Amino acid sequence: MANTTVSILIRFKEGDERRTVPAAYSGRARLKPGIGIVKRKERPCPGAIYWLRWYDGPKQVWKRVGPDPTDAVKAQMRQEAILGGERVPVEQSAQACRVTLASAIEDFLQERSTQTDDLSLKRWRWELNLFTQVCQKAYLQQVGRSDCFTYMKWYQQRKKAPRTVYNRTVSLGVFLKAAKHSVDFIFSQKKDGGEIPDYAEKTVDRYYVLDLKRFFAACDSYDAKRAEKGKGIQSRVSTIRSTIP
């Protein structure tokens, strides 16, 4: 049987830490505005934003509601009805149809927080906030193909390496795909039929264990030290030596 339970949680910032806690109820269908449950005790949550959470099989699904506790309860009842198989009238309001870019980013980061560490999450936030500044769009639906090129050009104008341009542009594609927003832009290199300029991977020297053993066996201790110092890689060779079985 499908899980039809939808939980209401609060997200807020405490210092530099972002926290998510259950919302506090004052009755069966009323929330205490801005109050959450922290370590089984009620406490104020400054700047509280209400979120819904439910399960689609083993996967957690999150949906941002906003700062209004009444809206959160209504959204919970509506989502539980949908999960229960009831036919719910489709809302046609302009507000429901226009998702802000900021809220889409928060939705993405919330889901991403269950899959990556805090450092990677901060990197994602920095990248997406930068894209918001570069494209200067308020709503997700306003983001189009030209904004992808504008973002790519921003990195190119700052002489970033082609690999960096590729990585940052592909990251944008990951976000837009997660937000279910199509922009008619192929996030791959031109040689693969995409829109992003090609780049060449640098050739990396490879050192095989057998070759290194032969090298050191052919050198006496004096010659080996001279070779190490002459190449300026004494510490590197010593490290490689220590890893040879």
**199 within some domain:** no
| Same-domain pairing of 183 and 214 | no
**100 within some domain:** no
104 vs 240: CA distance, rounded Å: 47
Does residue 22 carry a pLDDT above 90?
A: yes
**99 within some domain:** no
Distance (Å) of CA 214 to CA 107, 232, 244: 56, 20, 12
Edge-to-edge strand ranges of the sheet holding 49-56: 41-44, 31-38, 17-25, 7-14, 49-56, 59-66
**97 within some domain:** no
230 vs 120: CA distance, rounded Å: 40
Which alpha helices (H) appear in 84-192, and where do they start and end? 94-97, 101-112, 118-135, 145-157, 162-178
Q: What is the model's pTM?
A: 0.51
| Same-domain pairing of 16 and 51 | yes
Does residue 235 carry a pLDDT above 60?
A: no
Number of domains present in the structure of the chain: 3
Q: Tell me which of 59, 89, 119 is where a domain ends.
A: 89
| Same-domain pairing of 84 and 19 | yes
| Same-domain pairing of 113 and 141 | yes
Residues 6+ apart with CB under 8 A from 29: 73, 77
More confident residue, 241 or 133: 133
pLDDT at 214: 74
129 vs 171: CA distance, rounded Å: 13
User: Quick one: which of 88, 71, 85, 66 has its CA closest to 30?
Assistant: 71
34 vs 22: CA distance, rounded Å: 11
**158 within some domain:** yes
63-80 residue pLDDT tens: 888 888 888 998 898 888
CA angle 102, 94, 146 (to 5 degrees): 50
**157 within some domain:** yes
Q: Are 224 and 241 in contact (CB under 8 A)?
A: no
Domain extent, residue 181, equals 106-192
- Percent of the residues in the chain that have a pLDDT greater than 70, as a whole number: 79
**197 within some domain:** no
Collapsing DSSP to helix, strand or coil, 213 comes out as: helix
Q: Tell me which of 31, 63, 89 is where a domain ends.
A: 89
91-133 residue pLDDT tens: 544 444 578 899 999 989 988 888 888 899 999 999 999 999 9
User: Quick one: which of 160, 124, 62 has its CA closest to 132?
Assistant: 124
